[in-house]
Structure 1
Amino acid sequence: MATLQSWVSTLSNQLSLQSLASNNRSAVIHSSAVKANPRDELLQNENDCSKRGLILVGMGALTASMLPSNIASAEGVPDKYQAFVDITDGYSYYYPSDWREFDFLGHDSAFKDRFAALQHVRVGFIPTEKKDVHDLGQMEEVIFNLVKNVYAAPTQVPTIYDIQERTVDGKNYWTFEYELESPNFSRTAFATIAIGNGRYYTLVVGANQRRWSRVRNKLKVVADSFKMLDI
């Protein structure tokens, strides 16, 4: 038990220390928000326009043929959502189409509401030798320790409302709803955690508690859409 709690309690520090700045991130193509392979950037430096056009056509066909079959197609994205697909880091999810991308310290990708900045989604990951979320321990115990010791500040009171497990293409995901209550402010969120590709992935999507009843179902779509891709 002590070992599990110690491992979970270090996740916050590991995420903060992990460098995922923009200089390490590949370009995002917003046809359906696909994070492309870094080699596409080389095409921008090609001086011969006609040659560049031929290369782009060839690379476009090659990239399309290399995309994993479980990546969401534009036709499969729910109305009023957009797909973010990271073929380099091995994950995808949906986010509301009117949200904009922004940098969130220690995270690989993030999008927020244009008018309510606290209403946002963020995804981060850390290296791990574990193969599946079940390797972390008993689901309820792991999530309780995660919310209490990592997500909640010392001045916040955490409450967990719901825990769900789903399996997609043989990969397991834990999604849970929780609230962090402070004397002057409360925030409610969904989190989805999963392990694959040698990485521990975390998606968090939430909002101010006062807005939660209005946006809960909208944000649940985001939490449930997270998928790991084989890389």
Structure 2
Amino acid sequence: MTTTALFNPFAGPASEDGAAWRGYSGQLVTSEQIARHMEAAATLMRAGKCRPDVDPALDAAQAPGVGDEDTHQLACLVLETLLKRSTGARVVLLSQWAGHPDRTPQMVEGLLRDGAGLVRRLPQGADLGKVLGLLTFSWYGGSGAEVTGDAVARHVEAAAALMESRGWDPQFYDINTGHGVTDALQATLLDGHGTRDTKYVAVTVMERLLAALLEAPVVLLNEWTFHGQRTLPDVLKLLKSAAAYARAFGPRA
């Protein structure tokens, strides 16, 4: 995987089919295929052609060129993540959510359409499970206080501006010289552009985003920054991606 293809998950897909993951059968499934399956199920729901439950709607929507068991299973994974994010629950079962007495067909249809919109925005070339884990990420700093996505984004953008203006290219420094991303976050913190909590969350966001995109069990930000032929443009792409992620998915003020 090349460094130029790694980063901005919100830059749009590299092809018309978007990102691709392996379904449970082992076959590749694209984000567009998953989205189309969810949209077809939502259309059936609106037309009253299936009962107000996610699994039957996805079953009914399966057809050649629209969906199969792989897109069905991955769609359920995406939808359960959306529900965990919106409810704050650690575990959500789609069948039980849809079967709740307060649930309406319109709510189920809305969930399916939200899932289709989300899956089209997910990072390319990443592990789907880890990417979805990012969406239920805890935005609490080391002090125990919650920070907003916008506050984290502003801190990350200040760090990027400092690194770019001062030419902190990892090709010219090493991990011990104080010219890495965490050093830039600390310097901008002292200048009033963030807090210890936004720094903590920013580092965690970037490390988890890198782990998802690189399909690695764990990534340490400073080690990644100064590894091999990493350049300042590579680092700035990561910072831009992290800021975009924080604004899109972090808590609102």
- After TM superposition, the score normalised by the length of structure 1 is 0.30
Quick check: which has more Rg, 1 or 2? 2
Q: Which structure is higher in strand share?
A: 1
Identify the structure with bigger relative contact order (alpha carbons < 8 Å, sequence gap 6+). Answer: 2
Q: TM-score, normalised by structure 2?
A: 0.28
Instruction: Identify the structure with the greater helix proportion.
Output: 2
